Chain A
């Protein structure tokens, strides 16, 4: 087997050193009745060529974004990733190292995490950020738990514009952790009245902007209402590129900012792995979950980086830890930070403008198309349509015409009576031809 260096002669020599007759003797502690008498019913090993053939056949049964006119968003976005990003993250020293427990031989990982934390803090308009979480949804659930610890209250209010999967993750954790959570009705047009629901029993309010329907939300007044009542405002986002063009959540008064970082540096990957972003204010640092890289010096006085404040974490604090999390999303955070370094402020701003312009162009074309209506007043690169008919069927029909048109709201909010709504995203990858194909397929399918 190509991955196994030991020969039979090696194995025999090693067994002799150990003083047992066969490898099976090393499993002597296992209860006899659990030892397998016959090999498992599993196929034999394959050559690299045959493994690749197997997966090529499976891959061919999927329709990749790059083979379609692609407008699917709602939490994950198709962007162009420079080739240098994928090259760099496959460097052995990044790909095949582990958590930087030994800082003397892990400065590469520690320094990029420190840079990543700074970039995330700047983007979100916050003081500090951690070294990343699993994804945006789990970061949101962790933020709610953090708010409970900080306020010593145990009730969260979720906006009806929050991605429903994020809301479900929060509700699942809250129910099983025996905390309260209230979720507003799906708020397609960003008209819900959150402020009148905020009182001094709440630990936090979670609001997403741009929201799942694409609307932009001004958080300023909600933040003020939260703070009047001793509650925290958690701002969420699923499209990190939007921060290149929009006021930061921190500037609008958010106390904790969480989001999905996939759209910078990371592929769609059918949903994972992604990278959760998590930032907050200095005063809340000690209750922040997740790993942190910090600056220090070595014995020669040279600037160095090291994992720090680990007394918050499970391997030290066990059942008193801020979270059970033991890992971050290292390589995805690396892809994020490399792509953002390549972009820089100038590139990110321009990328965000192109995204917005492409979405505006599409919205204009659809505004003139029959049997559909753009519902949004404001949006960044994503908006919601009302269509004459069932959006899920429409999406299936358009897919047969080479257009992946978006996410039917009924898939996200089943049973909410929103079967005629469709969430459409447009990024820099879309061309005039893609937009024309969208409109043409729409007319043929409706």
Chain B
């Protein structure tokens, strides 16, 4: 373990100097564009329109919109200042469990901006976009090989959209067997992502909760006990949201299949096993893959993501349009599946091409062995954090091997007056983004840490030393580090209750006074 790297004088709030501007050195306040922009200002010079007789009928706008403009230098400054109020993976370890904040290679950004990818239209003739179709097919091939599955639907726009896609395929398959009216229950473990029950409910399924065993995983027997002729599918995350591998997954697959149902695997955590284990070997029928997690397309402040879905042979016929078919020497995008069993269309065009480019670039850079090494390093890093903190923090299911993320609860904080939230906010003062907190819901005061394979050992060691130091303070009753935290961030704690009670969701003249 490292010692504290540098002792910083304890901060006395009274000593923070008041400033005329409200700025604190590099931490600069920035007004809204509505407060600094002007209706007649613009940062884009556009030539005069040709004089023509308009063809707008009576629908031309006759009142101002109220949109402020800024010149280019003002625009640069506004957004650069805003950007500096954000934490980012490029600036520090970002251990958000279940989110996978790993390194985003800039080569991938460069490639995605090649004119041949960024500047092609989804509806231009397919003969002028064969390279794009080849790219999509290559990505699909990689995904099928990595998962040992028989088909891929590329068009889902994010993980939750992928879940919708997979469950739509399952619902269609059940309807095709004439069981559409009877099989209307989906089994979901308590620890699942909220998107799983929300997806099932959207499609008219009712949710039956499967309990977890004391070790945090689902027993095949518990699934068997919940199975009957009404069950359409099980939605199971593996590795699960507690960071644990579902040991009985093969038996669970056999049980659901024997009962006539399908196995939807939430692939959010595929990054723990990619290149090491193939979900198709577990017996699953469908799984989405979050390209923005496992294959490192940037999270972008909350999207865009991409959620291709791999499908088993049984579900492949129901895949959505469009899909790619080889026809002689060329590739063809099938956009209309008239007469086939496809369940239809999920989105206007062909999916997140910009994300496909980046994900495939990540795969090619790593190679098959590199992808496996990335998974192994992610698992190694999480277990290293676990082994280095297990004597000061408590784990809900005992000290056992985890996958790419390690889950602690707040048992070790009991009686200290410090909550999981306080602990997370104190990490901000130490220069870290907190881990995922209060998820999964089944664990009290959950703290889910996912370090990823992108961290050096030195980075992990400093992170561990910091958490140990904070843990000691908490146990010693040093509330000053927690109750007021964060004190050193661009903002102190934000009043979330006020925001929900009196929603102010847009700027209006009067809100400027707050």
Contacts and interface: CB of A to CB of B under 8 A. Distances in A.
Interface string B96-107: 100101011101
Interface in B97-147: 99, 101, 103-105, 107, 109-111, 113-125, 127-132, 134-135, 142, 145-146
B383 interface: yes
A411 B60 contact: no
Contact of B203 (A72, A177, A285): A177
B142 A42 contact: yes
B401 A29 contact: yes
B473 interface: no
Contacts, number: 720
Size bracket of the A interface: 35 or more
Interface stretch (A194-202, A222-230, A339-347): A339-347
Interface in A185-241: 209, 216, 218
Nearest to A123: B65
B14 interface: no
A40 B145 contact: yes
B78 interface: yes
Contact of A17 (B55, B62, B118, B388): B388
A112 B67 contact: no
23 contacts: A3-B454, A18-B386, A27-B245, A27-B273, A29-B401, A44-B368, A62-B120, A84-B75, A93-B86, A99-B99, A102-B87, A102-B433, A104-B486, A246-B56, A272-B349, A306-B495, A308-B505, A319-B200, A321-B194, A321-B201, A326-B194, A344-B70, A396-B125
B281 A34 contact: yes
Contacts of B249: 31
Contacts of B120: 62-65, 268-270
Contacts of B352: 272-273
A398 to B, nearest CB: 9
Interface in A314-343: 314-321, 323-334, 338, 340-343
A296 B491 CA distance: 11
A436 interface: no
Contact of B366 (A1, A93, A95, A304): A1
A105 B428 contact: yes
Contact of A270 (B134, B353, B374, B433): B353
B380 A23 contact: yes
A309 interface: yes
Interface in A1-17: 1-7, 10-11, 13-15, 17
Given A82-B72, A324-B160, 12 more contacts: A14-B383, A40-B278, A74-B123, A172-B168, A306-B499, A319-B201, A324-B201, A327-B304, A345-B69, A380-B56, A395-B125, A411-B123
Given A60-B116, A346-B40, A338 B75 contact: yes
B55 A363 contact: yes
Interface stretch (B2-10, B222-230, B357-365, B409-417): B357-365
B301 A360 contact: no
Given A94-B301, A360-B53, A314 B387 contact: no
Interface in B132-178: 132, 134-135, 142, 145-146, 157-161, 163-164, 168, 171-172
Interface residues of B, number: 208
Contacts of B51: 357
Contacts of A60: 116, 131
Nearest to B439: A315
B422 interface: no
Contacts of B85: 93, 105-108, 111
Interface string B210-250: 00000000000000000000000000000000001101011
A125 to B, nearest CB: 8
A342 B43 contact: yes
Nearest to A14: B384
A353 interface: yes
The listed residue with most B CB atoms (<10 A of its CB), out of A88, A218, A412, is A88
Interface-central residue, A101, A108, A311, by most chain B CB under 10 Å = A108
Contact of A330 (B303, B367, B386): B303
B496 interface: yes
A92 B301 CA distance: 10
A298 interface: yes
B364 A51 contact: yes
Main secondary structure of the interface of B (DSSP, over half): loop
Contacts of B370: 1, 4, 44-45
A269 B453 CA distance: 30
A89 B142 CA distance: 29
A159 interface: no
B490 to A, nearest CB: 5
B431 to A, nearest CB: 10
Contacts of A395: 125
Contacts of A39: 368-369, 372
A55 B122 contact: no
Contact of A56 (B72, B114, B384): B114
A287 to B, nearest CB: 14
A417 B403 CA distance: 56
Contacts of B131: 57-62
A105 B487 CA distance: 11
A415 interface: yes
A270 B306 CA distance: 14
Interface in A42-76: 42-46, 48, 51-52, 54-67, 70, 72, 74-76
Contacts of B433: 102, 105
B84 interface: yes
A16 B365 CA distance: 30
B310 to A, nearest CB: 14
Given A123-B67, A345-B66, A295 B504 contact: yes
Given A105-B490, A356-B49, A72 B121 contact: yes
Contacts of A20: 383, 401
A308 B91 contact: no
A268 B47 contact: no
B349 A75 contact: yes
Contacts of B298: 95-96, 331
A135 B354 CA distance: 14
A117 B32 CA distance: 12
A420 interface: no
B349 A326 contact: no
A209 B58 CA distance: 13
A131 B303 CA distance: 11
Contact of A18 (B276, B300, B347, B383): B383
Contacts of B425: 104
Nearest to A360: B52
- Shortest Cβ-Cβ A-B pairs, 7 listed: A344-B69, A59-B116, A271-B349, A42-B368, A331-B300, A61-B131, A172-B344
Contacts of A376: 55
A102 B111 contact: no
B59 interface: yes
B129 A62 contact: yes
